[in-house]
Amino acid sequence: MAETRSAWGIEIGQAGLKAIKLRYADNAQQVVAVAYDYVPHAKLLNQPDAVPDDLIRQALDTFLSRNPIGSDLVAISLPGQNALAKFIQLPPVEQSKVAEIVKYEARQQIPFPLEEVIWDFQALGGGIEESGYLLDGEVGLFAMKREQVEHHLQPFLERKVEVELIQIAPLSLYNFLCYDRLGYRKNEPREPSDDYSVVVDMGSDATTLMVTNGKKIWIRNMPVGGNHFTRALTKEMKLTFAKAEHLKCNATKAPDPRAVFQALRPVFNDYVSEIQRSIGFFSSVNRNAKITRLIGVGNGFRLAGLQKYLQQNLQYEVERVDTFQALVGDNVLNAPLFQENLLTFCVPYGLALQCLKLTDIHTTLLPPEIAVARKIRRKKPWAVATAATVLLGLATSAAGFGNVFSSVSTARFGEAETAAEEVSTLASKLKSDYEGEVGKNKTLQANGEVLVTALNSRDYWLEVYKAIDECLPRDTDNRRDESELAKMDRISIRSITTKKYDDLGSWFNEPVMTLADGPAKLYSREDKDLEAGAKSALLIAKPEYEINDRSVAPSGAGYVFTLNGVHYHHEDKNPKGKGATYVAEKFLKNLQSWAVKRESSTGGPPVETPVRLIGITHATLPEVTAPTPILFTPGRKSGPSGGSSRGNPFGMGPGRTLGGGRGSDDDEGFPGVAAGGIRPAQGGGAGADKTVQLQRTVFKVVFAWKPTPLADRKPWPVELPKPGEGAPLESGNPNP
C-alpha cells in the first residue's frame, strides 16, 4: 500500500504536551494514526511556583527521546487567546487585487505595525467569481505578534526540529470538525447550509468557542477555563490547589459530591452565561444561522455533570468527543492513555491533517524568513545536480570543438578569410556611400517641397485673415470720439483659434450651443432641427442672404476657425443695432457672402474681397451673451500690465479692430472698463469724472475653411442675389 510522509501534530498546553502522528494511505484513502504521546507537566504552567519555559523544554526532551522525528513533518499550535482572528467581508474586487485589499485591511485591523507581527489570510467559502471579480467574498485574517511566535518556536529550533506549520488552535479545531465530524474533503464542492455546529474547547485558563457550517468560521475566546472550577473549590472548601484539582477530576468519588457541585455551581452559571452571550452575538450577526449541536473538547470537558448542565441550560444537543470517526489505527486509538486523554488530541489531530494537506485551510504563521531559507536549502541538491550536468555538457562540447578546430585552423584558411573580409569591407563602404547620397537627395527634395508648400500655404492664410478683417464693420461716415462708444460701428476680435479636421463633416454634425435670448439650449446646425421657440437662434443661424450651406454638410479636410469677440454697440430703438443681431447684421452676414465690397481709399472703384471664393463656408454664431451693463470712464489710464490705451475699450485706434490689447487686469482687459456693479473710477486723465454705462455683448463666431488653390476657384457671380430671389446656391457652386 503506497503511503505518503507522516506528520506530527503537537500541542503544548498548560497541563502537558499532546502529539499524534498521522499518515495518509493513498490507495485506501484513509488517515492512519501511527503513533501518539502524552507528556504531562510536573506542574501546571500557570501555577505560581512553575517556570513555564523549563517545563516546556523538559516535556519536549521527553517526547523527542521517545519518538524520533526523522523525516516526518512537524506542525505545532499557538493558543487562540493570544492570536488575532478577523473575518472581513470584501466588496466586489478583481481576483488579482484581493491581496492588496487584504493588506490594507490588515493595517487597519491589526493594532501593531505589520513589521512586528506575523500574519496570513485565506479566502473562505461563500464568494463567487464572475468575469474576473470576486463577489460576496469573505477573507479570514489571522495574526500574532512576532515575539510570541518566536517564543513558542524557540524550543524546537534549539533541538533542531524543523517545524513545517504553525497554526492557531481554533483553526486546528476547524480542520478536525470538517474532516472528522462533517465529512468534508479538500476541494470537494459543499452545499450552502444554515446549520451550524459549535465546538467548545475548554482549556485551563480560557475556553475557545468556534462556530462553523463548513464554509464560514466565527471564533471567540471566553475568559473561563478549568482552573476557575479548581479555584472555586479552593475558596469554598479551603483546599490546596493540588487537592482541589484532584477533587474536581474525581467529584463523583468525593465523600460529599453534593457539596462539591454546590461549590462549583457559580462557575457553572458563569460558563453557561458566557456561551449563551457568544452564541447570541453570533446569531444577531448571522440571522439565518441555526445552531444544531455543541461539541465539547479539551480535558476540562471531562468535568462531571458539565455536559448535562450545558444541555439543560442551552437547549442544544451537547456531544462530547469519545472517538475519532475518520481515523484508523487500533494500536493508537485503543491505547488506554490515548482513550483517557482523547479530548485533548483534537487540536493535534487538526494540525496533522493540515500538514498532510488534507484540509482547505492553508494559512500558517511560520516566520517567512524561515520558510524561504528552508525552501532554498531543499532546492540546493537539485541546483548542484543541474550545474554538474551543465558543466559536463560544456566539457564534452569543448572537447568536440577542439577536435574540429584543428581541421579549420587559420594556417589553412587564413589568406582566403582575409581576402573575403577585404571584399566585404569594400562592399559595405560602397553601400554606405550610396545610402548617404540617397539620404542627401531625399533631404533636398523634402526641403524644396517644404519651401513650395509653405509659400502657397502662407498666401492662403493671409487671404483668410484679410477676409476676416474686411468683414468687420468700420466707421467710415461718422467720426466719433470715445465718449460715443455705443454708437461706433466696430467689433473687437479678442482671439482667433483654428482646429484642423480630416473630415469637416464630423465637425458639422457636432451639436452647437447657443446662448442667444435666455438660457442655453442645444441646437443642431440644420435649420429643420431648431425648435419653434428659438426664433432668435434661427435668425442668427439663417441670415437674409439665402446661401444653402447649412443643409449641406462640408466634406474633405479643412479647418474650423473660432473667433471670440466683444462689442459695445447698442441702439435701444433699433433691434438690429444691439446684442446678437448687431453681430449677425454687421459681421456674420459678410462672412456668409461671396464677396465684400469696400469703397476705395484712393477714390477709385469699389474693392471686392472674396470670402466664399477662397473656401470660407458655414459661418454661424453658436454662442452669444445678452448685453451686460458695464461702466466706462473715457481717458482712464491702463492698469498694471502696461500700455497707453487711454480708456479705449477695444485696445486699438479708431476703425475696425482685429484683436484688442489687454490694458488692465479686469475681466475684459480694457482700461477704463469696469465689469459688474458701479465702482468709482481710478487713475487720472482727462474726463475721469465722466463715467458712462455701456452694454457689452460677448460672442463666438465659427466657420469652416477649405484652402482652395487658384486653379480650382470658379468665377464669382457679378451680383449677389437679393433675399428670396433665385435658387439657393450649393456649396462650391458660384453660379446663381
DSSP 3-state of 499: strand
List, as one string, the DSSP characters of 362-380. ----S-HHHHHHHHHHHHH
pLDDT one-digit tens code per residue, 577-591: 888 999 998 999 899
- pLDDT score recorded for residue 187: 80
One-letter amino acid at 468 equals I
Read off the pLDDT of residues 446-482 as tens digits, 9 standing for 90 and up: 887 766 654 456 778 898 999 999 999 987 766 677 7
Q: Which residues of 32-49 are buried (b: 16+ CB within 10 A; e: fewer)?
A: bbbbbbbbebebbbebee
Listed range (293-297, 339-343, 493-497, 727-731) with the worst mean pLDDT: 727-731
Helix (H) or strand (E) holding 598: strand 595-598
Residue 323 in grid coordinates: 472517538
Confidence of residue 329 (pLDDT cuts 50, 70, 90): very high
Buried b (16+ CB within 10 A) or exposed e, 409-421: eeeeeeeeeeeee
Digit-coded pLDDT (tens) for 414-426? 788 888 999 999 9
Which helix (H) or strand (E) covers residue 538, if one does?
A: helix 535-541
Q: Which residues contact 269 (CB under 8 A, 6 or more apart)?
A: none
User: Which distant-in-sequence residues (6+ apart) come within 8 Å of 129 by Cβ?
Assistant: 95, 135
Q: Where do we find the cell 490705451?
A: 645
d(CA 121, CA 136): 16
Provide the grid cell at 332.
493508537
Distance between CA 530 and CA 524 in Å, rounded?
7
- Quickly state the pLDDT bin for 612 (edges 50, 70, 90): confident
Q: Report which residue type is found at 194.
A: D
Report the pLDDT averaged over residues 194-201. 92
What average pLDDT does the chain have?
A: 80
Phi and psi for 658 in degrees, rounded to 5? Answer: -115, 75
What is the per-residue pLDDT for 305? Answer: 85
Q: How confident is the model over 55-78, as a mean pLDDT?
A: 94
Which range (51-55, 108-112, 215-219, 687-691) has the least confidence?
687-691
Is the pLDDT at 266 greater than 80, yes or no?
yes
Please tell me the predicted confidence (pLDDT) of residue 544: 35
Determine how many CB atoms are found less than 10 A away from the CB of residue 391.
10
Confidence of residue 251 (pLDDT cuts 50, 70, 90): confident
pLDDT for position 402: 67
**What is the model's pLDDT at position 690?**
76
pLDDT above 90 as % of the chain: 38
Q: Which residues contact 219 (CB under 8 A, 6 or more apart)?
A: 80, 85, 170, 208, 209, 210, 211
pLDDT for residue 137: 79
Name the residue among 280, 105, 289 with its Cα closest to residue 212.
289
**Which domains are assigned to the chain?**
7-366 (3.30.420.40), 459-712 (no CATH)
Contact 540, 620 (CB under 8 A): yes
Would you say the C-alpha torsion 706, 719, 581, 661 has a positive or negative sign?
positive
Which of 116-130, 222-236, 358-372, 647-661 shows the lowest per-residue confidence on average (mean pLDDT)?
A: 647-661
